Structure 1
Amino acid sequence: MTRLLHLDASARPHGSDTHAHGSHTRRLSARFVRRWQALRPQDPVVYRDVGQSPPAPVSGAWIHAAFTPAAQREPWMRETLAESDALVDELIAADVIAVGLPMYNFNVPAQFKAYIDNVVRVGRTFGFDRSRGAEPYWPLLAEAGKTLVLLGSRGDYGYDGERLGHLNHGEASVRTAFGYLGIVDAHGVAIEYDEFADARLAASIADAEARVDALVEDLVAARSLRDAA
């Protein structure tokens, strides 16, 4: 059994396949999960809409609580970390994390940055020990065999190549954060040309959907081989 965590980060509440002004990333993430379930209906899916219900941003109280050893936390600390604990529990339980991740001003939406800040947790997803000297940090999820799938959209085009690749701080920042936790098996598909709203957008959508379908088939095949081993 493979457990999927389906996250959406778009501020738009609907997919572009069902609403005229809907989200392309919701369209792709829903397609990814739908195709996966068609091939592996036994695999459970946990869904969290970060775009519509974002986690609370990290605060000074949050930092104080997170860096206090669990056995020494006061009740207010446990309450402060309750939402973060729930998000971390979902991430740890998941085998595949599929994220609908639009680009907002060359980076991730603020809602998803809040999510990242809540799941990058000392003692839970990364370790820290000053006695290790110059390398006090280490990933805690490196041996978990998790896969990250980023399903994006951009208003312009060329963010995966030389034209605008240097301005794409979205997927790169997410890969960095998850890699820091030990999740390094990462894949991405994105729709571009959204602001052009012409035939190029239609072609990009068709291409992205085909790539999502192929990616699901590849990942399902790999998971099935792992299950059989």
Structure 2
Amino acid sequence: MTKTVLHIDSSARRTGSVSRDLTAQIVERLGAAEVIRRDLATPLPLLDETWINANFTPADQRSDEQTQLLAQSDALVEELKAADTLVIGAPIYNFSVPAGLKAWIDLVARVGLTFTYTDQGPVGLLEGKRAIIAVASGGTEAGSAIDFATGYLRHMLGFMGITEVEIVAADTLAIDEGAALAKAKAQIETLAA
């Protein structure tokens, strides 16, 4: 049984969102003891020069202002570390992920916290976690040549050490909504708790 789920929704739509419906169904199926919620429709800050400078300043040398600037990122990393399973709602916007999800990734992909560099290249520090990505799209088929969302998410999660990634796809909703939703529901029913 899953102990702790980090439930992330990134759809800009708080109502009428297929990806939000899918993540809710997945979280219910998993029956976790604890669910940490993160709604990325509430904007996160974008990286800027001040943030980057703070991030690359050694922790024991940061000013109070730099420490405060990184506080939200630190909290997001702690949520990620606390979870056994991530459930990420990722509608495909313009062939990729929503800006809010990209901002979240920018804030949690941090050297020394979620990955490190070695002589053999980068190594993820979040091994042993599972991720389930609920994808919804109007016309982009998940896994197709024009889907830049699922490959990017698999790569970034793997970069941080999360290599067990499953996709639940309600894709091409604009073409056949009923079939897309039925396919996603069938995929959810096969997920191990």
Tell me, yes or no, whether TM beats 0.5. Answer: yes
Deviation, 1:137, is: 2.8
Residues in 2 aligned to 1:141 and 1:36: alpha-carbon distance in whole angstroms: 20
- Residue of structure 2 in register with 1:112 after alignment: 101
Secondary structure of residue in 1 paired with 2:190 = helix
Q: Is the 8 A contact 1:66 1:81 kept in 2?
A: yes
Q: Deviations over 1:82-103 (max 9, x none)?
A: 1100100000010000001000
Q: Distance in 1 between matches of 2:79 and 2:179?
A: 35
Q: Does structure 1 residue 67 correspond to structure 2 residue 56?
A: yes
1:127 paired residue among 98, 116, 130: 116
Cα displacement (A) at 1:157: 4.8
Q: 2:8 is paired with a residue of what secondary structure?
A: strand
Q: What is the aligned length?
A: 192
Instruction: State the Cα distance separating 1:68 from its structure 2 match.
Output: 1.1
Query: Are 2:186 and 1:210 equivalent residues in the alignment?
Result: yes
Which protein has the bigger strand share?
A: 2
Q: Does 1:87 align with 2:76?
A: yes
The answer for the alignment partner of 1:151 in structure 2 is 134
| Contact 2:92–2:140 under 8 Å retained in 1 | no
Which of 107, 111, 126 is 1:141 aligned to?
A: 126
Q: Summarize the alignment of residues 134-213 of structure 1 with structure 2, pairs less than 5 Å apart.
A: 135=120, 137-142=122-127, 145-160=128-143, 165-196=144-175, 200-213=176-189
Partner Cα distance (2:117, 2:53) in 1:
15
Q: 2:26 is matched with which residue?
A: 32
State how far apart, in whole Å, the 2-side matches of 1:119 and 1:27 are.
25
The alignment yields a C-alpha RMSD, in angstroms, of 1.4
Write the letter of the residue equivalent to 2:177: L
Q: In 2 relative to 1, CA 71–136 (structure 1 residues): closer, same or farther, beyond 3 Å?
A: farther
Contact 2:169 2:183 in 1 (8 A): no
Once residues 58 and 46 of structure 1 are traced to their aligned partners in structure 2, the CA distance between those partners, rounded to angstroms, is 24
Q: Distance in 1 between matches of 2:140 and 2:89?
A: 18
Paired residue type of 2:29: R
1:193 maps to amino acid: T
Q: Distance in 2 between matches of 1:155 and 1:170?
A: 13
Q: State the identity %.
A: 38
2: CA distance, partners of 1:90 / 1:183: 14
Counterpart contact for 2:142–2:169, Cα < 8 Å: no
Distance across 2 between alignment mates of 1:153 and 1:172? 14
Cα distance in 1 between the residues matched to 2:131 and 2:46: 23
What is the CA–CA distance in structure 2 between the aligned matches of 1:195 and 1:148, rounded to whole Å?
26
Counterpart residue number, 2:38: 48
Rg larger in structure: 1
Gaps of 5+ in 2: none
Instruction: Select which of 1, 17, 34 maps to 1:23.
Output: 17
